[in-house]
Structures are given as structure tokens and as C-alpha cells.
Amino acid sequence: MSAAILIVAEHDGSTLAAGTAKCVACAATVAQAEITVLVCASDAAAVARQAAQLQGVHRVLTVEHPVHAHPLAAAIAPQIAALAAPYTHVFGPSSTFGKDLMPRIAALLETAQVSDIMAVESPRRFRRPIYAGNAIVTVEVPEDAKVVGTVRTASFPAAGTGGSARIENVAPPAEPPAHTRFVSSSAAKSDRPDLQTAARVISGGRALGSAEAFQMLYRLADKLGAAVGASRAAVDAGYAPNELQVGQTGKIIAPELYVAIGISGAIQHLTGIKDARTIVAINKDPQAPIFEVADIGLVGNLFEIVPQIEKLL
């Protein structure tokens, strides 16, 4: 039996988010998948064109409505549920966008959701992390149910480009509710690489002790073309903004190089970096749990070591 997979695109109104290409790569590992990407936007043209270029995408559907100028789960979910009938699978990224939206769709479709799919074992069998990644469960969705899932983007490469799927506009019958309204967002624009997709990440913990000390990491990151990350303790203390948090409740990332500076390596933090290719740890405590996962460890005072590294680069 073939699979008809609907992927909910994430975007900011003009650019398709990297997570969508990873959902496509995940969907492509389902046998005989026919992949449709759905773009909900106030003006979907630019994003739809990018989605149509993804390798493996069969067609792109657009739903245009002024309410979709900002992604509101309460507005998007009923429209997707209304379009879902022909599909065997509905996937979205396990970003905050997808985590917010997909369970609302699943409930409207009266089906269970598989969160954070990290591997596809069969069209209905998936592996996903539980207990902050300290166990991996394999679950199976019954034949009579639609598969609704979020895709753990760190587990998949991005689908390539060069495709040319056809684009179709559709108007689902469901009218979005008015009970939820967008007020504002504080998305900080930065010229630095995006934490979620960066090949190199320099991350700081509580040991930095101040927002000023964190500037040292930004300088190092700029020299290396790296993104900056942080532990929860560093964010809680106000040394770094919340969008930099890495871990169970922050971002799950898979860079080529992750440098943990003054981070102890609590399980909730480690779950965010398990897929990093190389982990470097700089910590003054040789017993710190971060050294159990680090490929390269350096025991010492970060306030001496980081400036030395900066000088040597």
C-alpha cells in the first residue's frame, strides 16, 4: 500500500523554515510515499515556490487567508483537519510551531500523535525518544488510524532542492475562529548563523556568570562562524535570551561541532546535543558529567582558556 503524506510547512511569510525540508526527508523514508506540502499563509506564493523545489515533493497546496499572517494553531488546525481526509500521514516539524499545532490537528482527527519521530521503521512504526532521550521507544499506529506526527528535525538531513512540484491553491471549508489573536513577537534579527541549523555552536552555562561574560562567547563564535547556545541555567539567570536554550525544553540540535563552556551536562541539556558530531567540553570540574559525552575535554578555568583560544585562532 502506498502512503499519502501531508506535510505542514513552517515559514515566516517569506522563507520556508529548514525544518520543512527535514520533514520531507523523513517522509521520503516511508515506503512508496507521495508527498504533499501544505503552506498556510496570507500570501503563500514565495514560500510555495521554495517548497515546490524540494526533492521528493509531489505537489504543494496553498491555503491563503489573512489570519495566517501569523501562525496560530487554533486557526490552522481546523483547516488542515478539513483537508486531511485523502492522506494516510500528516507530519509537521517538532519546532515550537509544529509542537503547538500538530496535537491540535490530531485531536480534531481523533487520532493519537507520534511526537518527535527520529526514525521510520515501517509506514506505521516509528522510533521516538522518551525520558529526555534516555530511552527510545518504538511505537506502532494501527491500520485504521491516520498517522499524525512531529518529526525530530535533528534526526534527518534536509531534502535537496531541484524539484519542480506543481502548486495548487485550495480553500478548505473550515472558517478560522476569532478567539485567538496575534499581538506581537520579539524575534531578534541576528546576522549570526541560526542555532538550529548551524554547523558549529558555542554554548555557555551558568559558569559565565554574567551577560557581559557571554559576549566573550559571541566573539569566539564570530571568529568560528558559529551560532551561540546556552544552558537553561544561563537563560534563567538572564545571561542569554530564551531562544538560545539547548536541551529537552530548548532546541534539539545536531551541529558538526558543539563546544560546551561552563556547562555541567545535566541530562536535560545532553538530550539537546546527542546528535552533535563532535562535542568539546571546557569545564573546571573533571567530574562534570559533560565529560562523559565529550569527544574532546579540557579541564580548566574558562576565563583563562576562552581568551587563549581566541588569541590562537
Ligand X SMILES: Cc1cc2nc3c(=O)[nH]c(=O)nc-3n(C[C@H](O)[C@H](O)[C@H](O)COP(=O)(O)OP(=O)(O)OC[C@H]3O[C@@H](n4cnc5c(N)ncnc54)[C@H](O)[C@@H]3O)c2cc1C
Interatomic CA distance for residues 246 and 258, integer angstroms: 11
Q: Which one of ligand X, another protein, none is in contact with 294 (Cβ closer than 5 to 8 A by kind)?
A: another protein
Q: What values do phi and psi take at 36, rounded to 5?
A: -115, 135
Selection from another protein, ligand X, none that 213 binds (CB < 5 to 8 A by kind) is none
DSSP annotation string for 136-167? EEEEE--TTS-EEEEE-GGGSPPP-B----EE
107 belongs to the binding site for another protein (CB under 8 A): yes
Q: Which three cell numbers mark 231?
A: 544552558
The reply to whether 270 sits near ligand X by the rule CB under 6 A is no
Among 49, 125, 200, 284, binds ligand X (CB under 6 A): 284
Q: Would you list the DSSP string of 36-64?
A: EEEEEESS-HHHHHHHHTBTTEEEEEEEE
Shortest Cβ distance from residue 266 to ligand X (Å)?
4
Residue 116, binding choice from ligand X, another protein, none, Cβ under 5 to 8 Å by partner class: another protein
Distance in Å, CB of 163 to another protein, minimum: 26
Q: Are 60 and 37 in contact (CB under 8 A)?
A: yes
Binding to ligand X (CB under 6 A) within 217-246 occurs at 231-234, 245-246
- Selected from 210, 278, 285, 301, the binder of another protein by CB under 8 A is 278
Residue 297 interacts with, from ligand X, another protein, none (CB under 5-8 Å by kind): another protein
85-98 burial code (b ≥16 CB/10 A, e <16): eebbbbbbbbbebb
Q: How many residues bind another protein (CB under 8 A)?
A: 88
Instruction: Measure the CA–CA gap between 29 and 27, rounded to whole angstroms.
Output: 5
Residues near ligand X (CB under 6 A) are 205-207, 231-234, 245-250, 262-264, 266, 268-269, 272, 283-285, 288, 301-303
